[in-house]
A and B are shown apart, each in its own frame.
Chain A
């Protein structure tokens, strides 16, 4: 049967767009983190996994292992903050950071234990999942990447790979070897132009589009968004006008964690997510980000949609070569990029 058969082609396209939308979100997060902190954020996919599996654990009435993880990260980050404050001779700042950490950690612990029982409505569990996973973004930045902020891109990449392996291992410890699936947010199908689409995939495309719109408004209209953009364009310049690179980095990682977690919640109902599922999903987002040259948001989004579409068509016509086709896509793009853009050296500080 031909790929352009009118009964096949629209289904494949819709399927590719659904996956592509998730890849696009991840590629935006990767571009954002790279532009602001120069970290090639390999563990982006792990937030997808943590998001989906935390919700699945809550669904089963369990307290997810991510709670202890986020509390442990909070502890380490607080110790680092206290040491830094005391070295600077600022006892009040040290006391404040301990107070905030104790309050925040205690509240998170209490809320999770109060709401983890079975029978809580789905939207409460979704909010709780966001509350448990998203803070890991800035905390990981504080613990792992902020101490390395003056290191080279290569060192940051190595740290990033190490973090990916560590998070995968933690995922196995927290959630076990077998994957889980979360309940669908929307049941049933819809007819659009003669093509039957599941409401769930429409939801994925819709939420992704909204999220991208939100990001565009955030970068275009808010002070924090503009500060991020300024840092992305020129770190030194941004610092000269009073933007703290640490704050910008923490914000970028918060957004990355938020995007990752939401992606996990979006695809959780359609496939079983296991502790090792995050990497390949993140990698496909990375291919999209590469097409955008790791700098352009619209190009990264378009690239990621393209990855989704090509993956879908390839899985129909040449399923055994699918991964080869998707990842070979990087080569011509890199070639074209290296020929067309002028090379500039690492930014000097």
Chain B
């Protein structure tokens, strides 16, 4: 009887051992759906086997909700016994998932922006990595561009939520470092029907440039209102608007907007020497081949980059342990931390014991909206 049980257990674990399990959590619905949907679509483009091992992907939707993200993460860890967590789309939900990753000792690659997800690398965060550029990295690029074009004063109008507040904080930090003055700070809600009041106040402060701290289609509204009030200075947007819908809805109203973005946004305009060009174009072609011309956005490319990091790390971890064991997860974590020179669509990843972001200034380019398309600056 005992022997029978043992064989049964062995048989079970042998089938379980065959596969590497990857749990993906994205915001397929809710306010962050415009980011989460291309991320979810990208999972279908990831390889089904790595180093001869079958990879099983389980995708869950957190509805842009923190509690749902934690529940989904627990389910993936306990029921699906995943070896790697990828996700989620938003910062608050990613922060909440850190505890699940740390308790279960499962490596996690977040797709959200904030620096607080991976900094400082303490005992809990040692399990957590991320692929998107931080707001700090992007804000520094905007302020550097402002300073180099003679801008002295900046006005700010952004969302009255975590996104807008985060950008305001980064703008103030970077602006102070470069000696720029933030002369007006205004907030608006994603669903507002008018921003005339805020824009009047920003225009009255006569800033040389205005930064709009908003994402997606709702970012069109302040820029349109600024133009309607005859504002002639430079208008900056954040990388949160880098998708085709922003151009489609904004039309003539967003012409001239300057923003930082991952190189994948303008992959075909990058010089041939740029290492990200090839990876970016490959991703764009793969994605548009499956989902149609013009469907690609930069957000899905963050998941693609997480996939690239994973493809490099899994073979190394397989050498040390079998999938489905704590040893494998630990080896996978070490392998991800040891990532060197992985060329992604958004930049070149070099993780380290104290750097779980892995990106440098090569992960951003400045682009401008010209004739209804993105144009690489410089």
Residue in B197, B198, B218 whose CB lies within 8 Å of A179: B218
Knowing A178-B249, A320-B187, A323-B160, say if A18 contacts B198 (CB, 8 Å).
Answer: no
Residues of B within 8 A of A267 (CB): 193
**Min CB distance, B130 to chain A, in Å?**
22
B34 at the interface (CB under 8 A from A): yes
CB pair A181 B197 closer than 8 Å = no
Which parts of A273-324 form the interface with B (CB within 8 Å)?
Answer: 274, 276-277, 279-281, 312-317, 319-320, 322-323
Contact residues in B for A313 (Cβ distance below 8 Å) = 197
Contacting residues, chain A, for B192 (C-beta < 8 A): 271, 315
Would you give the shortest CB distance from A286 to chain B, in whole angstroms? 14
Most B Cβ at <10 Å: residue of A169, A274, A315? A315
Interface residues in B185-235 by Cβ distance below 8 A to A read 186-198, 200-201, 204, 216-218, 220-221, 228
- A316 neighbours in B (Cβ, 8 Å): 197-198, 200-201
Chain A residues within 8 Å of B36, by CB: 177
The reply to whether the CB of B153 lies closer than 8 angstroms to some CB of chain A is no
Interface of A is mostly: helix
Contact yes or no, B220 A270, CB < 8 A = no
User: Is A186's beta carbon under 8 Å from chain B?
Assistant: no
Count of interface residues, chain B, beta-carbon cutoff 8 Å: 36
Partner of A19, one of B191, B194, B246, B251: B194
Residues of B with C-beta under 8 A to A312? 194, 196-197
* Chain A residues with CB below 8 A from B245, complex form: 176, 178-179
Residue B243 interfacial (CB < 8 Å) = yes
B200 proximity list for chain A (CB < 8 A):
8, 11-12, 316
Question: Please, how many angstroms separate the alpha-carbon atoms of A114 and B42 in the complex?
Answer: 35
> Known: A12-B200, A267-B193, A280-B191. Contact between A180 and B29, CB under 8 A?
no
Are the C-beta atoms of A19 and B193 separated by less than 8 Å?
yes
| B31 CB–A CB distance under 8 Å | yes
Q: Does B310 contact A (CB under 8 A)?
A: no
Identify whether the interface residues of B are mostly helix, strand, loop, or mixed.
helix
On chain A, the residues within 8 Å of B196 by CB distance are: 11-12, 15, 312, 315
Distance of A241 Cα from B321 Cα, bound (Å): 82
Q: How far is the CA of A19 from the CA of B197 in the complex (A)?
A: 12
| A122 located at the interface, meaning its Cβ lies under 8 Å from any Cβ of chain B in the complex | no
Expressed in whole angstroms, the Cα–Cα distance for A295 and B51 within the complex equals 70
Q: Tell me if B249 and A1 are in contact (CB < 8 A).
A: no
Residue of A whose beta carbon sits closest to that of B218: A272
Identify which of residues 175-193 in chain A touch chain B, using a CB-to-CB cut-off of 8 Å. Answer: 176-181
Q: How large is the interface on A (under 10, 10 to 19, 20 to 34, 35 or more residues)?
A: 35 or more
| CB-defined contacts of A169 to chain B, threshold 8 Å | 29
Distance of B163 from chain A, by nearest CB (Å): 14
B198 nearest in chain A by CB position: A319
Q: Which residue of B lies closest to A182 (CB)?
A: B249
CB distance from B299 to the nearest CB of A (A): 10
Select one of A8, A18, A180 contacting B194, CB under 8 A. Answer: A18
A43 → chain B, closest Cβ, in Å?
15
Contacts of B187 in A (CB 8 A): 319-320, 322
Q: Indicate the member of B191, B192, B218, B243 with the most A CB atoms within 10 Å.
A: B191
Q: How far, in angstroms, from A319 to B204 measured CA to CA in the complex?
A: 15
Instruction: Check if A315 sits within 8 Å of B33, measured CB to CB.
Output: no
Distance A18 CA – B216 CA, assembled complex (angstroms):
25
Contacts of A8 in B (CB 8 A): 200, 204
Chain A residue, CB-CB nearest to B204: A1
Is B221 touching A272 in the complex (CB atoms < 8 A)?
Answer: yes
B50 at the interface (CB under 8 A from A): no
Known: A12-B196, A172-B29, A320-B160. A180 touches B191 (CB 8 A): no
A22 within 8 A of B: yes
- In this assembly, does A198 line the interface, its C-beta being within 8 Å of a C-beta of chain B? yes
Residues of A within 8 A of B251 (CB): 181
- Tell me the B168-198 residues at the A interface (CB within 8 Å): 186-198
Taking the complex as formed, is B369 at the interface, i.e. its CB lies under 8 A from any CB of chain A? Answer: no
A312-B194, A314-B197, A319-B197 known; A179-B249 Cβ under 8 A = yes
Complex Cα distance A169/B28, Å? 11
Closest-CB distance, B343 to chain A (whole angstroms): 29
> Which chain A residues have a beta carbon within 8 Å of chain B's beta carbons?
1, 8, 11-12, 15, 18-19, 22, 169, 172, 176-181, 198, 267, 270-272, 274, 276-277, 279-281, 312-317, 319-320, 322-323
**17 A-B pairs in the complex with CB atoms less than 8 angstroms apart:** A12-B196, A18-B194, A19-B193, A19-B194, A176-B37, A178-B216, A179-B245, A180-B248, A181-B220, A267-B193, A280-B189, A315-B188, A316-B200, A320-B186, A320-B187, A323-B160, A323-B189
**Contacts from B to A (Cβ < 8 Å):** 29-31, 33-34, 36-37, 160, 186-198, 200-201, 204, 216-218, 220-221, 228, 243, 245-246, 248-249, 251
**Those 3 A-B pairs whose CB atoms lie nearest each other, nearest first:** A316-B197, A315-B197, A178-B245
List 5 additional contacts besides A177-B37, A178-B216, A277-B190; criterion CB under 8 Å. A12-B197, A179-B216, A270-B193, A319-B188, A320-B187
